[in-house]
Chain A
């Protein structure tokens, strides 16, 4: 970022639950300090003072599900120097990406009595499918400590950097006993990116992959292990088709599993 001037931050929302941008307000301790480093130029959820672009940093939450949004993101991109997506919706399409395995017309009419008024795409795609994304922050929702770290890094002119290893590393650091080994629970920790602090295993349940695939996400050996433990595709496919259903590593793994078992995908 340019030196001597506070970078101007803008927050934009697409199809999403608001949780990721709320994470910024959830950094209660750091919020005011962050505002000393960054100028909040456009953040509708927090301020009525909506300034026009160009912006130095745009945080984009949510996925693209309508034609209008597909256009809107182009404008945002051209108005922003650095575009960062926040959360599973923006980075992988979110839970609403499940529509790609269904019939959109049928889905819409299930929810709305007058489906003819609904204009929505048959897909829910990540921002990176539409424009160049400079940095992706994973999680459903993102971790607010990571969000603050990244913003501070940008404000100070550094390239943000976050760990991409598996949840297991954090799980062991906090002393949690591995559920796969001790209880035969299907846990996506080994193929899920760190960031949440390995909370699910610490609360006696398997990770459901809300931070998306880790590097590398070795889904094949893990899934065959789960099958050997007696878990059926019926359970494993939905486990992968959650908030990061359309993240390539999870999507491929789930599609392969259901194909192997003759399920329509």
Chain B
């Protein structure tokens, strides 16, 4: 069970003032923010597990669930990578350094790090799905020796949509097999073209029964990743996905995010594939 901050357990609506400390533009419509709480400059205020998320609140507009995308070991603020999707994220994108917004969290389950220890780990990210996976990648890099082979498959629509490109070299150096693919090649691209599952299918995995897959990206992509992984003999119990649903409370009280028996906000967003399987393929559930 994920650790829940005691103050949130008794009032999940507890919202803190956060100030924008840095904004780094990633690619078209996507930026990474560092948010610092007004009430605390203490690193312990930013404790989270890779895979968890915060609710970011722009007053007068609304809230959005946004994953942590920073390094859990170097907490100097909340790091979030946000894509402009609708009103909340657009209003967020209009804010400048020094301006404030509301934050509550962290919420949700993290990636199953203890279960990955000693395993061949395959991380599959689609588009913005790399954001919630980056804290996990940092962990893998930092504790590389605890894991067997580690592969990171990153897919994007075009090369310009590949998130955090400057970091791939470090990750490779740390012993992670980073593989990139795009749906559509643009000038200058001479890497893979095609869906992430194609790379997954080709991936060399010496001990299938010791392999685990973690994935985040568009729901269809994750479905196919799950299917491909299982076809290669990886049991459903060793596949984890991070789901997305409409969320209002993030605490299992509002009913919006249900998928079958799971509340994506508190039982997820990271869920084991076998738990989702009966529901994931039912249309409009």
Contacts and interface: CB of A to CB of B under 8 A. Distances in A.
A30 to B, nearest CB: 14
Interface centre among A153, A158, A159 (most CB of B within 10 A): A158
Contacts of B91: 156-158
A159 B87 CA distance: 7
A130 B179 CA distance: 52
B60 A156 contact: yes
A159 B60 contact: no
Nearest to A3: B94
A21 B86 CA distance: 29
A161 B87 CA distance: 10
Interface in B69-126: 86-87, 90-91, 94
User: Ordered nearest first, which 4 A-B pairs have the shortest CB separation?
Assistant: A158-B87, A159-B87, A158-B61, A158-B91
Interface residues of B, number: 7
A157 B94 contact: yes
Contacts of A156: 60-61, 91
B86 A159 contact: yes
A157 B58 CA distance: 13
Given A157-B91, A158-B87, A158-B91, 5 more contacts: A153-B87, A156-B91, A157-B94, A159-B86, A159-B87
B107 to A, nearest CB: 24
B223 to A, nearest CB: 28
B60 A157 contact: no
Contacts of B61: 156, 158
Nearest to A158: B87
Interface string A7-40: 0000000000000000000000000000000000
A153 B60 CA distance: 9
A153 B86 CA distance: 13
Contacts of B86: 159
Nearest to A160: B87
A34 to B, nearest CB: 14
A157 B90 CA distance: 9
Interface string B191-213: 00000000000000000000000
A158 B58 CA distance: 12
Interface in A147-200: 153, 156-159, 161
